[in-house]
């Protein structure tokens, strides 16, 4: 049996034990700095959270990468051997009596070698790398990897040209009207590769709603409950969440599952700071599974809309009207402004 320590921003927050790749014990120590999902969890609940931090193995590039670096496909093993390092939060783990500060754990040049492997499927110099890599948190349906460029981290994705166009286009529209959104851009001339800038500041971590919901008395996944829970955090949270939901309706984003939105928390106090920006729209608009635009989501949303929704829709339409790509969404939205 091996004992490990869980850290948040280099502060010890919990301990856990592992025997033959199975979590046998989990003991929280600083509950205020833990994700809500594991604040009061036992070994099984912590194991579920830990395994979510392993590299997604649906991608052949990721499977090959794990074979080269870690020699395993067990998600518990992968997460622990990569010290659970992630760019999108501040948690790491080490065996008892071993510790490396987070800023020293993953060198950008090492990660960029890993990301080059992911992006071009090359097989170069991996055997010399450290095992800790922010790539350990890239889950989802599309191949992803983090790169460090000009002093900032960017998340790259390989996807269809339709997905890239939707994601970049929606990001630019929302930026134009000042709504909080992740910044997306094409990777040079590659229309099947986009990158998004890390939206976290120093000493912050992203907690997906799938974990954060456990701080509420009702953690169910019903839309009305989610709306009520997030609104209870304050007017700013309610307003930002309303903008995300309205944008999803206009742009036909059916993929806003509970890991595709959440909150930003302080890694020093645990305080909830704000709603995470709108991100992950690569299955929206003309990149949706049907491949064509439908106003069905917008119609359903506007059936329960109030004047604030109408005003927000008017603002969104002001940016849509001059963009021919979004003409179907603009025309569908106009009928609700009269």
Total count of residues recorded for the chain? 338
What is the structure's pLDDT at 137? 53
Picking from 250, 247, 242, the residue whose alpha carbon sits closest to that of residue 293 is 250
pTM over 0.95: no
How far apart are alpha carbons 276 and 136 in whole angstroms?
Answer: 21
Q: Which residues are CB-contacts of 255 (< 8 A; sequence separation ≥ 6)?
A: 280, 282, 283, 284
Q: Hey, what's the torsion of the CAs at 170, 173, 177, 180, to 10 degrees?
A: 30
Contact 21/77 with Cβ under 8 angstroms?
Answer: yes
Contact status, residue 34 vs residue 40, Cβ threshold 8 Å? no
Q: Answer yes or no: is pLDDT of 152 > 80.
A: yes
Q: Look at residue 189 in the predicted model and tell me its pLDDT.
A: 79
Average pLDDT over every residue of 168-178: 98
Q: Are 4 and 94 in contact (CB under 8 A)?
A: yes
Tell me phi and psi for residue 204, to 5 degrees. Answer: -130, 150
**pLDDT given at position 82:** 85
- Whether the Cβ atoms of residue 193 and residue 231 lie closer than 8 Å to each other: no
192 or 235, which is more confident: 235
The reply to whether CATH 3.90.1570 applies to domain 163-334 is no
**Average pLDDT of every residue of the chain:** 90
Instruction: Render pLDDT for 187-209 as a digit per residue (tens, 0 to 9).
Output: 987 888 999 999 999 999 999 99
Q: What are the extents of the domains in the chain? A: 1-105, 163-334
Mean pLDDT along residues 308-327: 97
Q: In what order do the strands lie in the sheet with 22-28?
A: 22-28, 11-19, 2-8, 91-95
Q: H or E segment at 316?
A: helix 307-320
By mean pLDDT, which of 25-34, 64-73, 290-299, 304-313 is the weakest? 64-73
Pairing label, strands 11-19, 22-28 = antiparallel
Distances (CA, A) of 205 to 8, 84, 88, 284: 9, 14, 6, 26
Q: Picking from 101-105, 309-313, 321-325, which range would have the lowest pLDDT averaged per residue?
A: 101-105
Distance from C-alpha of 258 to C-alpha of 256, rounded to nearest angstrom: 7
- 239 vs 169: CA distance, rounded Å: 22
Token pair belonging to 263? 């909150």
Cβ contact 137:87 at 8 Å: yes
Helix or strand (DSSP H, E) at 120: helix 108-120
Q: How confident is the model at residue 63 (pLDDT cuts 50, 70, 90)?
A: low
Does pLDDT of 256 surpass 90? Answer: yes
| 280-189-320-241 Cα dihedral, nearest 10 degrees | 20
- Record the tokens describing residue 123, joined without a space: 């097989």
DSSP result, 53-101: TSPPTTSHHHHHHHHHHTS---HHHHHHHTTT--SSS-EEEEETT----
For the chain, give the percent of residues with pLDDT over 90. 73
Give me the pLDDT at residue 118, please.
75
Query: Which one has a higher pLDDT value, 176 or 119?
Result: 176
Mean pLDDT for 276-291 is 96
Per-residue pLDDT, 128: 58
- What is the share, in percent, of the chain residues with pLDDT greater than 70? 88
Q: Are 156 and 146 in contact (CB under 8 A)?
A: yes
> Which tens digit of pLDDT belongs to each residue from 224-234?
999 999 999 99
Pairing of strands 91-95, 143-149: unpaired
Mean pLDDT, residues 78-103: 92
């Amino acid at each position: 049996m091996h004992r490990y320590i869980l850290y948040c921003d280099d502060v010890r927050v919990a301990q856990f034990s592992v025997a033959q790749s199975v979590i046998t014990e989990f003991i929280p120590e600083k509950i205020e700095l833990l994700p809500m999902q594991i604040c009061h969890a036992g070994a099984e609940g912590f194991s579920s959270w830990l395994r979510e931090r392993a590299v997604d193995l649906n991608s052949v590039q990721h499977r090959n990468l794990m074979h080269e670096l870690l020699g395993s496909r067990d998600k518990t093993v992968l997460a622990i051997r990569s010290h659970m390092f992630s760019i999108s939060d501040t948690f790491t783990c080490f065996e008892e009596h071993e510790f490396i500060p987070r800023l020293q754990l993953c060198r950008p040049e090492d990660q960029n070698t890993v990301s080059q492997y992911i992006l071009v499927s090359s097989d170069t110099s991996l055997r010399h790398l450290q095992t800790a890599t922010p790539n350990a948190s890239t889950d989802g349906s599309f191949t992803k990897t983090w790169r460090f460029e000009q002093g900032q981290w960017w998340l790259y994705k390989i996807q269809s040209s339709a997905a890239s166009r939707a994601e970049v286009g929606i990001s630019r529209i929302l930026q134009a009207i000042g709504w909080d959104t992740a910044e997306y851009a094409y990777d040079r001339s590659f229309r099947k590769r986009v990158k998004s800038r890390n939206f976290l500041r120093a000493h912050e971590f992203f907690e997906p709603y799938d974990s954060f919901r456990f701080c509420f008395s009702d953690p169910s996944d019903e839309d009305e409950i989610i709306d009520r829970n997030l609104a209870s955090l304050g007017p700013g949270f309610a307003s930002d969440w309303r903008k995300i939901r309205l944008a999803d309706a206009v742009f036909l984003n059916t993929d806003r599952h509970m890991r595709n939105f959440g909150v930003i928390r302080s890694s020093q106090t645990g305080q909830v700071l704000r709603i995470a920006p709108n991100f992950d729209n690569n299955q929206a608009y003309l990149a949706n599974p049907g491949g064509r635009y439908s106003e069905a989501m917008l119609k359903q949303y506007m059936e329960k809309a109030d004047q604030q929704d109408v005003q927000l829709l008017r603002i969104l339409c002001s940016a849509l009207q001059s963009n021919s790509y979004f003409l179907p969404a603009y025309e569908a939205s106009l009928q609700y402004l009269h």
